Amino acid sequence: MEIPRRVLGKTGLKVSMLGFGASPLGDEFGVTDEGEGTRAVHYAIERGINYFDVAPLYGETLAETRLGRALVGYRHKVILATKCGEYTNDLKTGFDFSAQRVFRSVEESLRRLRTDHIDVYQAHDIHAEYRSQIISETLPAMLRLKEAGKVRFVGITGDSLSFLREVAEAVDVDTVLSFCHYDLLDTSLDQVLTPYLSRRGIGQINASPLHMRVLTNTGAPDWYKLPLATMEAAQKAARYCRQHGVDISDLALQFALQHPYAATTLVGMSRVAHVERNTSAVGVTPDPQLLSEILAILRPSTGC
Ligand code: NAD
């Protein structure tokens, strides 16, 4: 089916409700063949996906470089989002939210992405340790880039829903991206953030509906840690789905795509088969009986 588009809050951008998360192009979930990644990008566009999210962090610039190459000749068909502020996975040294780095970072991203503007530019993985710098230095620098036309809209991304809300209250951001907070394991997004964003008309982006691959038959990558009880419950849920002829990733995606306000749900993709599978989940209502059985398996392990 044609992938429906939704308006991304006050940006007015019409984004496909399923978005292409490009972190796997940076080998974040195992080695990706670049040719296959490029075919996945092109197939996603053919299937109607128009929102692409990437960051310098993913593969330490590899994902941006590969996405930039794949988008040659296709840039005009997509809404392109990238980020600044986080550059390596080292929690001590990986962040730089200084204005100077923002100005340099945007030029580097533009070069790698082979474009003259970024549609949505986001401060990456903000957290409270950097509160005053993000509010008084990082976001003002990004807003200057908006005035200069290098970026069209400015947003924030992160894990802490309460901190995302606090920053959105302090600075006039256009979009907020959170991850792993609206899926089969966790719906805290709607308790903490969604009502505020929808009231203010701020564009909402929901990432990682497969909970970093926990909600798939493959399971999480080694670097992603959850309590053992949750991992075991996820494996049990995947098995239960298989016994009923269902791939848990389909159910997980169908569930997340039902979110009433998030304009786009970002799934990490670098393979044509995943694009095929994930686009086929759009517009399908999850089987209510199976869904309630799976939630009964998963939710006690998370306390949600
Ligand atoms: P995810 O839950 O979307 O998926 C995890 C991995 O599952 C994917 O990377 C892919 O390798 C695999 N996969 C995809 N479809 C599959 C399928 N049908 N069956 C089996 N496996 C499948 O998690 P994610 O990739 O981390 O998140 C999606 C995107 O959201 C990222 O690529 C990134 O662009 C964005 N994101 C942003 C932030 C941030 O800004 N702080 C954080 C997390 C994610």
**81 strand-pairing partners:** 53, 120
Q: Which long-range contacts (CB under 8 A, 24 or more apart) does 284-288 make?
A: 284/250, 284/254, 285/254, 285/258, 286/251, 286/254, 286/255, 286/258, 287/246, 287/251
Ligand 1 pocket member 89 (CB < 6 A): no
* Predicted pLDDT at 17: 98
State both tokens at 301: 């392990």
Which among 16, 41, 91, 179 is the best mutation to test ligand 1's pocket, defined by most ligand atoms within 8 Å of the CB? 179
* Predicted pLDDT at 91: 87
Ligand 1 pocket member 208 (CB < 6 A): yes
pLDDT tens by residue, 56-75: 999 999 999 999 999 999 99
Q: Please check the confidence at residue 303 and state whether its pLDDT lies above 70.
A: no
Task: Say which DSSP state 88 is in.
Answer: S
Q: Please check the confidence at residue 289 and state whether its pLDDT lies above 80.
A: yes
**How far is it, in rounded angstroms, from Cα 148 to Cα 105?**
15
Which among 213, 218, 226, 277 is the best mutation to test ligand 1's pocket, defined by most ligand atoms within 8 Å of the CB? 213
Ligand 1 pocket member 155 (CB < 6 A): no
* Predicted pLDDT at 2: 84
Per-residue pLDDT, averaged over 184-193, amounts to 96
Per-residue pLDDT, averaged over 3-8, amounts to 97
Q: Give the catalytic positions in this structure.
A: 58
Query: How far apart are the CA of 148 and the centre of ligand 1, in A?
Result: 32
Kindly give, in sequence order, each residue whose CB lies less than 8 Å from that of residue 42, ignoring residues fewer than 6 positions away: 70, 74
* Predicted pLDDT at 301: 81
Ligand 1 pocket member 212 (CB < 6 A): yes
* Predicted pLDDT at 16: 98
- Report the amino acid identity of residue 288: P
Per-residue pLDDT, averaged over 34-53, amounts to 98
Residues in the chain, total:
304
Nearest residue (by CA) to ligand 1, atom 7, is 213
Ligand 1 pocket member 175 (CB < 6 A): no
Per-residue pLDDT, averaged over 229-242, amounts to 96
Using CA atoms in the order 184, 188, 193, 195, what is the torsion angle rounded to 10 degrees? 80
Q: Please check the confidence at residue 174 and state whether its pLDDT lies above 70.
A: yes
**How far is it, in rounded angstroms, from Cα 300 to Cα 284?**
26
* Predicted pLDDT at 242: 98
* Predicted pLDDT at 92: 86
Q: Please check the confidence at residue 206 and state whether its pLDDT lies above 80.
A: yes
